[in-house]
């Protein structure tokens, strides 16, 4: 069973993340600090896979339409991810910053070598460092990872649907396409991992026996 951070824990996480500063004052180091603030919000607010966000190029961002183009993702599939309005503004501000510092880098999230994207291990380390500063780190039965933010995105969306009394059967296929999943059952696997999620689905959804499919162990990258 995965440990999926709650909204309150993620709010605390972002406070810690946003307060982090580089140990030196060179421009590239300052950029590294700012890109973590953006990339973790994309994971949590858009449900992106670890590689999908870090391998984004500047040309994959359409600020006019508020769209991210995810190319060659898992299963060699392409898809469009629509940003929330505040997400579009966040990326617009961030792009102004990165263009001023690293105008020749094609990557939205360049690494220490600006010709290469931010490395996955660096993302893992920054997440762990910030998470370990939270009170929740002492009580969590299993430390979360950056990929858990994708799970949290699914849980938050589905819990909101349940609370609003919306039809999950009608909405789940759209969420599945948004996430780049093969089928709604793969999407529901994420929700299936969260024990307290079932209390909501059984309380709110009168057809829960038909909504909850057989669950398989999907491996995400």
- H, E, C per residue of 138-179: HHCCCCCCCCHHHHHHHHHHHHHHHHHCCCHHHHHHHHHHHH
What would the pLDDT profile of 92-142 be if each residue is shown by its tens digit?
999 999 999 899 999 999 998 999 999 999 999 999 999 999 998 887 778
pTM: 0.83
CA dihedral 175, 178, 182, 183 (to 10 degrees): 10
Q: Is the pLDDT of residue 90 over 90?
A: yes
Mean pLDDT of the chain: 83
- Give percent above pLDDT 90 in the chain: 52
- Please say if the pLDDT value at position 40 is more than 60: yes
Cα distance between residue 18 and residue 11, in whole Å: 11
Binned at pLDDT 50, 70 and 90, residue 161 comes out as confident
Highest mean pLDDT among 18-22, 130-134, 165-169: 130-134
Phi, psi (deg, nearest 5) at residue 15:
-65, -45
The pLDDT assigned to 212 comes to 41
Average pLDDT estimate for 39-43: 97
Between 181 and 216, name the one with better pLDDT.
Answer: 181
Q: What is the pLDDT of residue 22?
A: 64
- How far apart, in whole angstroms, are the C-alpha atoms of residue 50 and residue 216? 21
- Work out the angle at residue 165's Cα, subtended by the Cα atoms of residues 185 and 197, and round it to the nearest 5 degrees: 50
* Residue linked to tokens 């370990």: 132
- The whole-number pLDDT of residue 203 equals 54
pLDDT at 168: 80
As beta bridge partners, residue 136 has none
pLDDT in tens, 187-203: 877 666 665 454 555 55
Name the band, by pLDDT with cuts 50, 70 and 90, for residue 56.
very high
The label of the residue with tokens 């829960």 reads 208
Q: Give the pLDDT of residue 204.
A: 52
DSSP category for residue 194: -
Residue 110: strand, helix, or coil: strand
Mean pLDDT of 132-158: 88
pLDDT given for residue 68 in this prediction? 97
Going along the chain from its start, the domains and CATH numbers come out as 7-138 (1.10.443.10), 148-211 (no CATH)
């Amino acid at each position: 069973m995965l440990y999926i951070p709650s909204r309150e824990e993620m709010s605390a996480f972002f406070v810690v993340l946003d307060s982090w500063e580089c140990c030196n004052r060179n421009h590239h180091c300052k950029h590294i600090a700012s890109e973590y603030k953006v990339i973790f919000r994309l994971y949590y607010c858009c449900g992106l896979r670890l590689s999908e966000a870090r391998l984004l190029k500047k040309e994959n961002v359409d600020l006019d339409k508020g769209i991210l183009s995810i190319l060659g993702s898992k299963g060699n599939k392409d898809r469009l991810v629509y940003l929330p309005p505040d997400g579009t503004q966040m990326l617009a501000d961030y792009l102004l910053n990165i263009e001023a510092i690293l105008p020749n880098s094609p990557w939205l999230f360049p690494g220490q070598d600006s010709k290469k994207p931010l490395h996955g291990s660096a993302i893992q380390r920054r997440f762990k460092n910030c998470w370990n500063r939270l009170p929740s780190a002492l009580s969590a039965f299993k430390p979360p990872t950056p990929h858990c933010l994708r799970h949290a995105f699914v849980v938050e969306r589905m819990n909101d649907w349940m609370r609003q009394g919306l039809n999950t059967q009608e909405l789940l296929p759209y969420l599945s396409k948004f996430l780049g999943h093969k089928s709604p059952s793969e999407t529901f696997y994420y929700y299936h991992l969260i024990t307290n999620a079932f209390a909501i689905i059984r309380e709110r959804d009168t057809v829960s026996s038909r909504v909850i499919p057989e669950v398989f162990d999907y491996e995400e990258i």
